[in-house]
Amino acid sequence: MNKLAAIVLSVIFSVIVSWYVVTHYATSAASSAPAESKQSVYDRVMSSGTIRCGYFEEAPFTIIDPNTGAKSGIAVELAEKIGKELGLKIEWTVATGFGTLVNDLSQNKYDVVCGSLFSLPRGGRIDYTMPYTYVPVFAYTQAGRIDFDNKLDQLDWSQVSVAGLDDEGGTTAARKKVPNARFVILPQTSQIADMLTSVADKKADIAFVMPTVFKKFNANNPGKLAKIQTDRPFYVFTVTFGVKSGEPAFKNMLDFVMRNLVAEGYVDDLFKKYDPDGLLFRPAALYKMAQ
């Protein structure tokens, strides 16, 4: 064999060995990689017999006992009732925040946000169940201030500071309606009531929250804040549960049961129990069953 032939054979052999090594390891890696789950939320829930609920604290929808961690409230009882109607167990998984709930749903940390979720644009990555009620949001400021009364539509908002929390309903509404305001945004770990604390501490002029949030704050901090006088709410939100986008079978199942519970008066009874003062709007159905 001459020198040129030896070189050619050597090159051919090297190419064949390289091809085999690359192909072998690529095939092995593909076979060892976990297959991407294609199971829908509906299929997972039905096969496990469990709906996993994410939640956040917001009375009177979700109330958490600080000593025992026990949960109660409108949204809690509604979720448990939905599970009972479907013959499924409700598992309360992890507390979520407004800034993380979309990603939490996308990563399947839970199946549904079982709470007082306002219908807001969230990048198309979350779907909302049918509304089970509607809630008003009002403006609150330091007690004794009257400079905002009946003037919310006349203010120079560039001179007004608003306490806010990213992706929270009242803050989102304020950014939409009064975009020129100076927003004092709290950390994502903050609670909704912390916006009122910010106003009470004079770090902001105004906070926009539900009247039930103010009621609880005022009980613990009497005389600190007052509702700004106005002839109508600053904003009205639909209140829903939230599910991952692109899961129509699961969403439709929740809608079906929720619609029936509104029609039969069950949800209205929850509001009578947890909101006896009627601070929130009562759920409505096109037709109600006879009592």
Q: Is residue 96 part of a domain?
A: yes
Reference 116, options 138, 135, 144; nearest CA is 135
Measured between alpha carbons, how far is 212 from 279 in angstroms, rounded to an integer?
7
The pLDDT, as a whole number, for residue 97 is: 82
Tell me the C-alpha distance between 180 and 183, whole Å: 9
196, part of any domain: yes
Q: When comparing pLDDT for 14 and 267, which is higher?
A: 267
Mean pLDDT across the chain? 86
Do the beta carbons of residue 148 and residue 139 sit within 8 Å? yes
> Does 247 lie in the same domain as 129?
yes
What are the residues whose beta carbons fall under 8 Å from the beta carbon of 281, sequence distance 6 or more?
133, 134, 135, 136, 236
If asked whether residues 115 and 204 sit together in one domain, one would say no
- Does the pTM of the predicted model rise above 0.95? no
Q: What is the CA radius of gyration of the chain?
A: 27
User: Contacts from 194-201 at CB under 8 Å and sequence distance 24+?
Assistant: 194/165, 195/163, 195/164, 195/165, 195/168, 195/170, 195/171, 196/140, 196/163, 196/221, 196/225, 197/221, 198/163, 199/140, 199/141, 199/142, 199/163, 199/225, 200/142, 200/224, 200/225
Residue 37 in this model has a pLDDT that exceeds 80 = no
Q: Is the pLDDT of residue 120 over 90?
A: no
Between residues 187 and 251, which one has the greater pLDDT?
A: 251
What confidence tier does 291 reach under pLDDT thresholds 50, 70, 90? low
- Amino acid occupying residue 272: K
Any idea what DSSP says for residue 104?
Answer: H
pLDDT at 107 over 70: yes
Tell me the H-state helices in 140-186: 169-177
Q: Are residues 162 and 174 in the same domain?
A: yes
On whether residue 241 sits in a domain, the answer given is yes
**CATH of residue 96:** 3.40.190.10
Q: Are 109 and 173 within one domain?
A: no
**Is residue 154 assigned to a domain?**
yes
Of all residues in the chain, the percent with pLDDT exceeding 90 is 70
Residue 5 lies in a domain: no
Host H or E run for residue 43: helix 41-48
Residues 188, 203 share a domain? yes
pLDDT at 11 over 50: no
Terminus-to-terminus CA distance in the chain, angstroms? Answer: 102
Specify which residues 91 forms β-bridges with: 52
The answer to which of 90-104, 148-162, 232-246 has the lowest mean pLDDT is 90-104
Residue 118 lies in domain: 41-133+237-274
pLDDT score recorded for residue 266: 94
**Which three-class secondary structure state does DSSP give residue 162?**
strand
| H/E segment holding residue 7 | helix 3-32
Does residue 286 surpass a pLDDT of 60? no
**198 and 77: one domain?**
no
Same domain, 265 and 222: no
28 vs 224: CA distance, rounded Å = 67
- Whether residues 124 and 249 share a domain: the answer is yes
Q: What is the pLDDT of residue 132?
A: 93
Give yes or no for residue 226 having a pLDDT over 90: yes
Give the mean pLDDT of 214-243: 95
Between CA 133 and CA 279 the distance in angstroms is 12
Distance CA 167, CA 25 (A): 46
Taking 60 as the threshold, does the pLDDT of residue 173 lie above it? yes
For residue 64, pLDDT over 80 is answered with yes
- Overall domain count for the chain: 2
Residues 251 and 162 in one domain: no
Is residue 246 domain-resident?
Answer: yes
**291 domain residue, yes or no:** no
Q: What is the pLDDT of residue 188?
A: 78
**145 and 190 belong to one structural domain:** yes
pLDDT surpasses 80 at 26:
no
In a domain, 155, yes or no: yes
Q: Are 219 and 245 part of one and the same domain?
A: no
Quick one: 88 and 123 in the same domain?
yes
